[in-house]
Structure 1
Amino acid sequence: FHSVTSEYDITGNINSLYMNDVTFSPDEDKTSTRILALGDSHTYAVGVSTNQTWPKDLESKLNTQYGPKRFRSYNGGATGFNMHQYLLRLIDQGPVVKPNYVIVGLSYATDLYDLLPPDHGGWIYGGDLARDYFDFDANGWLTKRHWEAKAGSNTTSESSTTAANVRQMLEYSATFRYLRRSKLALFIGSHVTVGGQSLWPNMDIVLERNVAPDHEYQWHLFEALLSEIKSESDRQGAKLIVVGIPYLPQVYDDVWSSTFGKDPKYSRTAAIDRVIAYCQKSGITYVDTLSGFQTRSKELGHWLHYPKDAHPTAEGQEVIADQILKAGVIEIKTP
């Protein structure tokens, strides 16, 4: 495929596994140490060509270090995916690619926000699309369920759609589209609430020091899904690694100071610290990329995210790969 916007001009390839990746050749990959990368549009990754995504850049760097074709990294990221789909894709395609490592690209832009089932607020992306998902049964166990829209049904609760409708209305404003990455727009998004809902709700849950009552269910479900991904990785004989992918207020000083920075109830690392603690408790390896993004951005003197699109640029994708490599968490596995 070929995609062109005002910010990027990229090419890509969707293979037989519906991955933004090169051709799937299982016979050629048998002797390689195999990595299955899972994630959303930040891993897929919107805004860069196939070989510039962090899973493919990591593969290239590992093969440069250890020798040609010693590693094969499969990019299982997909636009609009969330933690539910990461687990489902691991269950479905893990046995096909037989990974030695499973790396979840945890997007702090959306992964703690876009995971609520229909009866708890509904999906943020692709809300009308039928899907399998997971929720707790009466005994508190994570259970697979199926959902599809019924004629005339609403996929989200009224309270959760009020702010979403305002955001959608603003998207149709040319002035808002022009200003939405300006300090004024960022300030409004982080300070104004409509119907009790923030205009930038994906950042509330990520930056709040103390988990708000309205977000406790999300954290509980997130932890349960991550634990199940760990269990499924173990069943497949793969080591699970979580790599955190930070978002704008976490990375850039000017965005932080103009949005949440002056409010003591917020912290740039609140969710990161919480996820790290849970990973440590659960025996999951975590790779932090926040300092890598901050350092590299200051060295280059510009953002590592597209100003309008807000996904990481090729330079941002490279930071993710570099931080995984630097952490030393991947080694050659004997076939």
Structure 2
Amino acid sequence: MRKLLLSSVLRFVEAVVLIAASYFLVTRMNFSYLFVGNVLLLIGGALLFEALFIFLLVFIEKWREKKRAVLGRIRATFIVIFVADTMIRLTGVMNIYSENADGNYFSLAQQEKLDSWYWVHTPNTHVTNKRKEFLFDREVNSIGLSEKEIQEEKGDKFRIMAIGDSFTEGVGLSYKESWVKQMEKRWKHYNVQTINAGIGGSDPIYEFALYRDKLRHFKPDVLVLTINSSDITDVSSRGGFERFHADGTAGKESPKWEWIYASNHFFRMILHRLFDYDTNLVKGTKSDESMQTAVNHIKEAISKFQQLSAKEGTEFLVVLQPAIQNFKNGKYSPFFGQTELGSYLKSQKINYLDVSNTFEKKGTSVGNYYYPLDTHFNKKGYALFGNAIYEKVEKMGVLK
């Protein structure tokens, strides 16, 4: 009995050391060494189950004759999990966006906890991110935008501000090649100044808070808000305006078990397929009810944008943007809520543009307008997208 108890304790200590080492490698090294962390985690997990079983043998004598067989099954189970995890890892079916884009795990859950109400880059920094298909490289201004410093007085310039996520920021191209800056170049004879207020990962709720508190005093003549399918899923996960806390922070804490999710792709599959977690590690966000709530939150944000714009004499334009995931054999299927948003904008007499028709006309060649891995627009895609907005603003007759 004493021998069994000692064996159980030794295995338990070994398990704790290995699992702690896995946790340290994954979390303290900024989600690096994930494969090594996974191996340590699985070995530690097997030892933990062995320790528990051997501890039970101290009290249940009739199980002792099955000790070798049970320990063999425990080890075989964890070997199967390791093989399954390795196969899933190699196929990439459980990869998150950043792993497909640049090969590294980026915590979507940890970025959700903000120390302010504003989803922006760290002000006055240089942001660079080497991805498989391009280099993202930007200088960040004092507000946290990948834009030059904005002078408060605009003089006789006609200001057009674009606000949205990474598709507005222009991820995939240089600052000057973004569709926002290309419009400024085309409207040079109108003395147009464009302001790119797009931030990768943002959504209309964060964008309204940023515009209301940090950007509206720049007095844009036209405000362009872009919305796509990722905004629906982001708001479904983050919630509406209740995400903003009285202490000046926003968002929610990431779950304590994220390091296991980062390390083990088999665990990811169980969470996504059986427990309905999304890649932000929030449960139930893909249900129709949750997605519909997100659409309602976005309609609320649009209403707030419209009211503020009308009050300050700013022309407001909403652009609904297609993602490559919504195309199949060249045919476009609207993202959840897209049709409803279009009807809402029309009923509220808000200027809007649905660019999906422009891309659907490209038929089966539409994939040539997106990066295959990253799925952002490529140069052709941004040019097509920007040209549609350019023509819409021209038709609005607001340029002076």
Distance 2:395 2:260 in 1: 44
What does residue 89 of structure 1 align with?
Answer: 210
Q: CA deviation at 1:167?
A: 7.4
Question: Helix, strand or coil: the match of 1:102?
Answer: strand
Gaps of 5+ in 2: 1-125
With over 3 angstroms needed to count, the CA separation of the structure-2 counterparts of 1:23 and 1:330, relative to structure 1, is farther
Q: Deviations over 1:201-225 (max 9, x none)?
A: 99x999xxxx933333222222111
What does residue 56 of structure 1 align with?
Answer: 181
Give the 5 Å matches for 1:23-38: 23-27=149-153, 29-38=154-163
Q: Deviations over 1:135-188 (max 9, x none)?
A: 39xxxxxx98556489xxx747x9xx99x9997557799xx9xxxxxxxxxxx9
1:242 corresponds to which of 318, 333, 345: 318
TM-score of the superposed pair, with normalisation by structure 2: 0.57
Distance 2:260 2:395 in 1: 44
Q: Deviations over 1:230-264 (max 9, x none)?
A: 1111122111111112112223527x7xxxx9xxx
Q: CA deviation at 1:13?
A: 2.9
What does residue 389 of structure 2 align with?
Answer: 324
Which stretch of structure 1 is more off in the superposition, 7-16 or 311-320? 7-16
What does residue 227 of structure 2 align with?
Answer: 106
| Contact 1:250-1:290 within 8 A present in 2 as well | no
Does residue 115 of structure 1 match 2:235?
A: yes
Question: Helix, strand or coil: the match of 2:216?
Answer: helix
- Aligned alpha-carbon RMSD (Å): 4.0
Q: Which runs of 4+ in 1 moved over 6 A?
A: 164-167, 170-173, 198-202
Gaps of 5+ in 1: 124-132, 137-142, 177-187, 262-266
Distance 2:227 2:305 in 1: 12
Q: Which is greater in Rg?
A: 2
2:334 corresponds to which of 268, 273, 286: 268
What does residue 139 of structure 1 align with?
Answer: none
What does residue 134 of structure 1 align with?
Answer: 241
| Contact 2:205-2:298 within 8 A present in 1 as well | no
Distance 1:86 1:59 in 2: 22
What does residue 303 of structure 1 align with?
Answer: 368
- Which structure would you say has the larger RCO, counting Cα contacts within 8 Å and 6 or more residues apart? 1
Amino acid at match of 2:274: V
TM-score of the superposed pair, with normalisation by structure 1: 0.66
| Contact 2:232-2:291 within 8 A present in 1 as well | no
Q: Report which of the two has the higher share of strand.
A: 1
Percent sequence identity is 16
Distance 1:55 1:171 in 2: 38
Question: Helix, strand or coil: the match of 2:202?
Answer: coil
Question: Helix, strand or coil: the match of 1:12?
Answer: strand
| Contact 2:141-2:149 within 8 A present in 1 as well | yes
